[in-house]
Structure 1
């Protein structure tokens, strides 16, 4: 470590200990918006201005007090989505509208007038589409689907829109004799932070003055709401009437508090509401700081009898009101009307894209530390996995692998031969991930700095000079990744020609990209720094990490001429980040509470479109006791992104350092992960194609089961595995809800059959966490584990068939080369369907576009839940030949086993049980 860097670490540590973050009352636009009380709507609609042109409806609304006019645009998007945009009718200059997050402009449909009177108009794209009731005075929108009111907009009258205005002229020195009333008014203005806002020692001057926007939405019949990651909070969102609102503002919060609504590393402004049979959502497309207030109440609704309403008879119905408040931009809201849960996921993916299909290696185990000492240390750790027979795919290098924290360089003292290191890993079919942060050391001799400076690619301070802040390298400039030209240049830096000593086994990790600025306001960029196009950081702050990951993924794709899939992990994220790779929950602590909170955090992220997510196994900071570390490995092995990571001040904790018994437990669960890689890969393909989350809350699969709505300590991996991690010290049992009326569940280790629906206390030992396979599913697995996923490409498959109450089961397998884009470019994939019904297990093609050739075979089949032994088993091959084969049947576990099969994965075949 260079002396300069060592001093910087000490400075950072002190900063982290004393860092302060805003509460809601420290946020001026929040204080201003909270002055507006519900039930006092100031906006009226001018229905005479309504125009229906093309597929858009436009009309004006005005503030009865200020006489400021706003333009409302309403769109009906194909697939039961309504978009509402509100902007100034004639702003002094353009307001920020979020680019690049939507994958394309949504496909809209023409709206027609269904009904009209003096105070309202009802619009709809047709009989089966949503109906949009516009009420003029006061202004309100009511959105119905299938004759049911789903959402109301501005029903509380909390529409808030600060129009752009010229800055008040400064008073001259002659105007010093202000009246006391004038002074009081001035002090009140300062408290509201209209043109200037102070926090601790920082003063935020506002180029455009007050520009805040806000709007309320009422979700009718809903009391369970989820989403708006990420917060270290419960999965089900809580009412905030007497608490802090949920904050969406990407921040580097080291050692963040549990059960806090403070925004941390990433944010997705999406809320989902669920009730039996129906789900709805609100996507608030705004990248500035956003606060979300949630309130819940019971509303009296007329009791409907047949087609007639008896207004004298009412029933209480739950209602959730969601108030969005943003610092700047416009109002751009997408109302996702479902009605089913999976409809919602499709609707959101239609807007922001689906999860990128990861390379197979990235679904294996990742080993990371801040930092490994040197090249010899890395090679010893790599050898340790082989010595202890523990599979892994990727080893990671943190900032200390670079020359003085200059990214795209190597410390040649510590890493004298990076190419040899990568060649050694490649020979073992393993990968290397290195870190690349967005801050750039101020050093004219550093080519990244000098080239970016020459091209004017750095964020500017409020005076127009390159902003300089402190981060790991010391004085640093920050790449303006909002600039398309800067992103293009940055992507080029990952080419093999430009990135010295890089190879095709080197992948990337974007950290500190909130972005983090030591000694900055809330350890981040000042809000008045300037980005490409003259936009202030306040306008687009939450997009910064999104853009860096976008550029990094682009660079990794380009270096292979768009043939190979990138792998990029990011700490900061936004809506749409799923298109570019994976994310994790950031710098957690080695404490039981952080293991416990990781589950609801990951569930919130998963239902917000980002399936490839995880939490650092063991906790980043601190020294986990052996029991905690084992339990964390057991949990992490059944979560999408699986990485062990630790801080430089933590004790070394490679899986074999805690004694043979703990090593055995960790080895076993990592091997379980590798055996299940075909299933993981298949459900990631499903997420990529259909937007179904990989890690699912119970209510997603059981939408009518009310008891699942508040569950956050267990979840489903795909549709087939129910997982309940052990998150308490010295636990000997856990209480598990087995959801679904008539469902059957099987313990994956003992094959014990459990009939849902029930809540049970299940005993646990250190050897296991509860994992159950759902009856009616087929899980593809590998029959043995290799040193890494690359060693397992030709290992035969096993099918684990779990029968439901009707003795049937269905499952899929997706297979391709595991790393390239050939599955898209030339249909080089196989998608197979396995179906068990009426005593026949069949394999058939699930997508006839697939052309991938493989020699891989199904070698083993387990039928779980077969209540009686068959008299014979016959295989019917694709060429028409048949063969009677031996089998084993265990009457105690009701498991039938077929071994030594040679059933080509790509062929149709049947196995008949008679």
Structure 2
């Protein structure tokens, strides 16, 4: 086989596609994935029409590509400069690129075949490695005159010279009996490659489905497990993909409330992770921002199949070897960037609604929360706080004293977050945001020769309706002057309204409707491409601006068709510097609805306009797990539901789960009942208070988890499969989850249930009830009591968790004493850590302005507290240590202070393992 890194085996290996694949109707490659297929259109493409299937069988492709047609064959190969990789030239089989007799024979083995008659004739496949655990396979047009759009999002990829004996991944080329070239990536187990090494990615059996058309790129691959997670943003009914339902999901940023179907939602994350049957994991990023779709299906009892399609750009694939799931995500974040460190107060409880409609109602909700003893750190303002829903304003009638209220919040240690939408009212000549933007020419444009609004506007600005009452223009955040304009507008507005962080919404340039002059040319190639991915809307511009709109970074001009799904990302990276300019040196944060790989470096995300229905509680969990895979751990849902009226039981259970959303905000929509935690019956208020207090006691642990992922990469929230990938019982679990490796959260997510079914991994792991310290001795599948005011929570043996006495906000709670919760493992040992800084300054880790304490409990009953770093000089009191799982009762405690602090607990025999102190 031809492989990279190179080894002594240089002959390409012929891999015969078995008859079980060739003759199985469920493995047909669709020759007419676009609509309106018929025998005539099918055969015109050089494909086979199965009239029996067309007339009767659902789910079987009627128009399909013969295995002997299509695909590419190896034409040439060269080593990249400085031995930094290999470059392979592939030629399309249905063409004859040379006069070579041999290559003519190869080309002539396939009749002409094309879906859309604009195929790329020669491809360049560039293969590079970075370190020992990552491979990049970049597939581009080999014709240098046909340069295609590539994603302009900065990533980190440092190609390195291969160390073949240390490489964990290996790229290979194969050849089918029809002379088609297959692309493979193997996991290399030993120091040399072996034909028995697991194949993680393989297009060989579906080489005829490898299509590289101008506006239709398709690749079909098998992989070695049915345990696959990720890809989004979509509403998946389960965290592990269901391979038997045959759902094709679309990805294209859209203002689409989650509905539990195959709708494309707000962000674009073409990344997936697979857990192999031996427990090893790997990840794949397909770095593409165009509209795209994907479908996972079952290939065999131990293999799955991915069909991936996109309508632009290139195929740029990154492979991450793991082998643990956490290492996969850490490797992924080495490419896209490690997560942002939120401010400490950003981990407190936050309250919002669209439709307070007056400051009096906002203050009433806030007062209900505080007066009921429910901690709260942040009050939010939605667009109803604006004057006529216009950015950089506030309503002078209904929110007259909003600036004074914000000042009061600051005086008592709380914060205020405001919303901004990227739609600027163009109808008022004195609106400074528009005037200054117009002077700098920062708006998204029509092409000069296709401006359907010129007779109305007299300029190239593309207009639409969003929230403001007038026609709006849209900032081009790729353009450097736009970023300066945006920052200046935000800072100027901050002089009036002293907000602390920024919530960016509607990042799709979304006109509500187009009854006037924004009639996109829906008969051209951008709004009506040959293939319409499985995205909602009849045309590409549905719920957004025209695809032919132009944007620029000052050097390169982009068509909105290519970068539509990057609008939220580009707005995010423009907004964070503005948020930090509000109070120089302060961390602040940005919350964005639309995200892309690397957004987590700059912002957090919420899962959008969910509904107050029971299935959405489970969708909340799945969203937490998926966005931690995507590198955005500061993630949460609208607790209690955004759309529809909530119920007491639903909100009570959701607040319990919400306490374990890293971003913890209760939020609902206009015209609905109030759902702030203090508005309910006394018993539910008490339950809500209990949930929020629990959250506040655990914030030191959560903050330390964020420090770990900010510095090392990884996940804050993780699935059971992620932590216990060797345990097949965990692979499909998605109704319980973990914070780090120490806390197992098991929320009740079904109506009227007062018990919880869950799974605790088996011995040698010990598990303790968080609230009582009682060891759970029955492991595996268990059922535990879960009355309405209680959510099961377990601590893993071997953990030391820092906790703190709660207060009504984190500004106050940070002044309280700390405690340690020690849960001993089977060896009577445990460990943990605490990261501590001022909670708000920028780059405290990078600037060495923090403390890091390491905790260790050893089997001789000694707790050692080591200051690994001690740069932030502030009093921090430790006043209590609880130990779960001791085999003996302490009779004496000794404190010894040296370079580290040691606490020795002298014990006597005779106590049981369930005792705690």
Shorter-chain TM range is 0.7 to 0.9
Alignment-derived partner of residue 466 in structure 2: 471
Identify which of 200, 208, 227 aligns with 2:230: 227
Identify which of 711, 721, 733 aligns with 2:743: 721
Q: Report if the CA contact (8 A) 2:867-2:900 is conserved.
A: no
1:82 aligns with 2:110: no
* Separation (CA, whole Å) in 2 of partners of 1:646 and 1:665: 20
Give per-residue Cα distances to partners, 1:397-439, cap 9 Å, x unaligned.
Answer: 0111112122111222223344322211111111101100111
SS of 1:229's equivalent in the other structure is strand
Alignment-derived partner of residue 551 in structure 1: 574
* Separation (CA, whole Å) in 2 of partners of 1:880 and 1:72: 55
1:501 aligns with 2:496: yes
* Separation (CA, whole Å) in 2 of partners of 1:881 and 1:382: 42
Identify which of 559, 576, 592 aligns with 1:536: 559
Alignment-derived partner of residue 152 in structure 1: 201
Identify which of 50, 67, 72 aligns with 2:125: 72
Give per-residue Cα distances to partners, 1:144-180, cap 9 Å, x unaligned.
Answer: 22242332342211554555xxxxxxxxxxxxxxxxx
Identify which of 25, 29, 50 aligns with 2:78: 50
1:502-581 equivalent positions in 2, closer than 5 A = 502-503=497-498, 505-519=499-513, 521-532=541-552, 533-561=556-584, 563-581=585-603
1:629-668 equivalent positions in 2, closer than 5 A = 629-668=651-690
Instruction: Describe the shift of the 1:101–1:594 C-alpha distance in structure 2 as closer, same or farther (beyond 3 A).
Output: farther
Instruction: Describe the shift of the 1:763–1:37 C-alpha distance in structure 2 as closer, same or farther (beyond 3 A).
Output: farther
Identify which of 712, 728, 732 aligns with 1:690: 712
SS of 1:871's equivalent in the other structure is strand
How far is the alpha carbon of 1:244 from its aligned partner? 3.4
Identify which of 411, 422, 438 aligns with 1:438: 422
Instruction: Describe the shift of the 1:288–1:883 C-alpha distance in structure 2 as closer, same or farther (beyond 3 A).
Output: closer
* Separation (CA, whole Å) in 2 of partners of 1:611 and 1:760: 29
Alignment-derived partner of residue 285 in structure 1: 287
Greater Cα shift, 436-445 or 92-101: 92-101
1:73-112 equivalent positions in 2, closer than 5 A = 73-90=126-143, 92-102=145-155, 104=156, 106-111=157-162
* Separation (CA, whole Å) in 2 of partners of 1:881 and 1:126: 44
Alignment-derived partner of residue 874 in structure 1: 894
Alignment-derived partner of residue 483 in structure 2: 487
Alignment-derived partner of residue 784 in structure 2: 762
1:232-381 equivalent positions in 2, closer than 5 A = 232-238=235-241, 243-254=246-257, 256-258=258-260, 260-275=261-276, 276-298=278-300, 318-381=302-365
Q: Report if the CA contact (8 A) 1:515-1:545 is conserved.
A: no
Alignment-derived partner of residue 453 in structure 1: 438
Q: Report if the CA contact (8 A) 1:459-1:530 is conserved.
A: yes
Gaps of 5+ in 1: 1-22, 112-123, 164-209, 299-316, 898-914
1:668-747 equivalent positions in 2, closer than 5 A = 668-747=690-769
Alignment-derived partner of residue 903 in structure 1: none
How far is the alpha carbon of 1:704 from its aligned partner? 0.4
Give per-residue Cα distances to partners, 1:789-829, cap 9 Å, x unaligned.
Answer: 01122211010101111111111111000011251343111
Instruction: Describe the shift of the 1:491–1:250 C-alpha distance in structure 2 as closer, same or farther (beyond 3 A).
Output: same
* Separation (CA, whole Å) in 2 of partners of 1:455 and 1:27: 46
Instruction: Describe the shift of the 1:753–1:157 C-alpha distance in structure 2 as closer, same or farther (beyond 3 A).
Output: same
SS of 1:132's equivalent in the other structure is strand
Q: Report if the CA contact (8 A) 1:285-1:331 is conserved.
A: yes
* Separation (CA, whole Å) in 1 of partners of 2:852 and 2:65: 55
Alignment-derived partner of residue 219 in structure 2: 215
How far is the alpha carbon of 1:80 from its aligned partner? 1.3
Q: Report if the CA contact (8 A) 1:874-1:884 is conserved.
A: yes
How far is the alpha carbon of 1:490 from its aligned partner? 1.6
Give per-residue Cα distances to partners, 1:189-239, cap 9 Å, x unaligned.
Answer: xxxxxxxxxxxxxxxxxxxxx52222223213x110000122221334445
Q: Report if the CA contact (8 A) 1:227-1:235 is conserved.
A: no
Alignment-derived partner of residue 131 in structure 1: 170
Q: Report if the CA contact (8 A) 2:861-2:904 is conserved.
A: no
SS of 2:147's equivalent in the other structure is coil
Instruction: Describe the shift of the 1:158–1:421 C-alpha distance in structure 2 as closer, same or farther (beyond 3 A).
Output: farther
Instruction: Describe the shift of the 1:825–1:128 C-alpha distance in structure 2 as closer, same or farther (beyond 3 A).
Output: closer
* Separation (CA, whole Å) in 2 of partners of 1:528 and 1:560: 39
Instruction: Describe the shift of the 1:36–1:841 C-alpha distance in structure 2 as closer, same or farther (beyond 3 A).
Output: farther
SS of 1:361's equivalent in the other structure is helix
* Separation (CA, whole Å) in 1 of partners of 2:440 and 2:908: 70
Gaps of 5+ in 2: 1-31, 48-60, 98-120, 452-459, 515-540
How far is the alpha carbon of 1:62 from its aligned partner? 1.0
* Separation (CA, whole Å) in 2 of partners of 1:682 and 1:881: 20
Instruction: Describe the shift of the 1:781–1:704 C-alpha distance in structure 2 as closer, same or farther (beyond 3 A).
Output: same
How far is the alpha carbon of 1:382 from its aligned partner? 3.0
Q: Report if the CA contact (8 A) 1:43-1:61 is conserved.
A: no
SS of 2:576's equivalent in the other structure is helix
How far is the alpha carbon of 1:728 from its aligned partner? 1.1
How far is the alpha carbon of 1:710 from its aligned partner? 0.3
How far is the alpha carbon of 1:282 from its aligned partner? 1.1
* Separation (CA, whole Å) in 1 of partners of 2:436 and 2:461: 14
SS of 2:595's equivalent in the other structure is coil
SS of 1:42's equivalent in the other structure is coil
Instruction: Describe the shift of the 1:879–1:804 C-alpha distance in structure 2 as closer, same or farther (beyond 3 A).
Output: closer
Instruction: Describe the shift of the 1:26–1:240 C-alpha distance in structure 2 as closer, same or farther (beyond 3 A).
Output: farther
How far is the alpha carbon of 1:775 from its aligned partner? 0.9
Instruction: Describe the shift of the 1:493–1:882 C-alpha distance in structure 2 as closer, same or farther (beyond 3 A).
Output: closer
Q: Report if the CA contact (8 A) 2:390-2:467 is conserved.
A: no
Q: Report if the CA contact (8 A) 1:832-1:843 is conserved.
A: no
How far is the alpha carbon of 1:129 from its aligned partner? 4.5
Q: Report if the CA contact (8 A) 1:368-1:645 is conserved.
A: yes
Please give the TM-score of this superposition, normalised by the length of structure 1. Answer: 0.82
Q: Report if the CA contact (8 A) 2:719-2:734 is conserved.
A: yes
Q: Report if the CA contact (8 A) 1:152-1:219 is conserved.
A: yes
SS of 1:61's equivalent in the other structure is strand
* Separation (CA, whole Å) in 1 of partners of 2:906 and 2:376: 36
Q: Report if the CA contact (8 A) 2:129-2:159 is conserved.
A: yes
SS of 2:676's equivalent in the other structure is coil
Identify which of 774, 779, 787 aligns with 2:808: 787
* Separation (CA, whole Å) in 2 of partners of 1:696 and 1:126: 32
Please provide the CA RMSD for this pair. 2.8
How far is the alpha carbon of 1:295 from its aligned partner? 2.3
1:589-608 equivalent positions in 2, closer than 5 A = 589-608=611-630
Q: Report if the CA contact (8 A) 1:359-1:567 is conserved.
A: yes
* Separation (CA, whole Å) in 1 of partners of 2:900 and 2:201: 61
Identify which of 830, 836, 860 aligns with 1:809: 830
Instruction: Describe the shift of the 1:880–1:762 C-alpha distance in structure 2 as closer, same or farther (beyond 3 A).
Output: closer
How far is the alpha carbon of 1:25 from its aligned partner? 5.1
* Separation (CA, whole Å) in 1 of partners of 2:908 and 2:504: 51
How far is the alpha carbon of 1:598 from its aligned partner? 1.5
* Separation (CA, whole Å) in 2 of partners of 1:896 and 1:127: 47
How far is the alpha carbon of 1:881 from its aligned partner? 10
Greater Cα shift, 524-533 or 692-701: 524-533
How far is the alpha carbon of 1:747 from its aligned partner? 0.9
SS of 1:676's equivalent in the other structure is helix
How far is the alpha carbon of 1:285 from its aligned partner? 0.3
* Separation (CA, whole Å) in 1 of partners of 2:68 and 2:580: 53
